Amino acid sequence: METNDNRGGTPGVGEKLVAAAMLNADGPAAEGISADFVKIRARIDRVVQSPISDGEPTKGPIHTADYPVKLPAEAGSPRADQPKESIDPLLRQAAKIEAPYVVVPRVVGDAE
C-alpha cells in the first residue's frame, strides 16, 4: 500500500516534494517555496551544526508523559466516539458517494 506516484529517474527537489505533498505547486506558490527551501536548509544546518545537536531525539518534549497501558480488568470499554450506523452524515462531504461507498476513479497499482 504505497502511493503510485513514483516516476522513474531522479526527481528534482521541487518535483519530489510536489509528489510528496500532492500539490500542483505552480506559479507564485512554487517560487515562494523554492526560496523557502534554501532558507530552511540554512536554518536546519545552523541548528544541526550548533553544539546542541546531540541527544535522544525521541525524548523531546512531544509528550507530557508516558502512557502506562491499563490492566485488562481496568481497560473496560473506552472512549471517544461511538460508531455510526450509516455513511451519512460523516461522509456527506465526499466528492462522490454511491451509497454505501465513497467512489474515486479507478486506483491502480494496488493489489486488485
Interface residues for another protein in 19-78 (CB under 8 A)? 20-26, 28-29, 32-33, 36-37, 39-40, 43-44, 46-48, 50, 52-75, 77-78
Q: Does residue 84 belong to the site contacting another protein (CB under 8 A)?
A: yes
Residues in contact with another protein, total (CB under 8 A)? Answer: 93
Min. distance of Cβ 73 from another protein in angstroms? Answer: 8
- Residue 9 DSSP one-character state: S
- Residue 11: partners with Cβ closer than 8 Å, 6 or more residues away: 19
Query: Taking the C-alpha atoms of 76, 77, 79 and 82 in order, what is their torsion angle to the nearest 10 degrees?
Result: -170
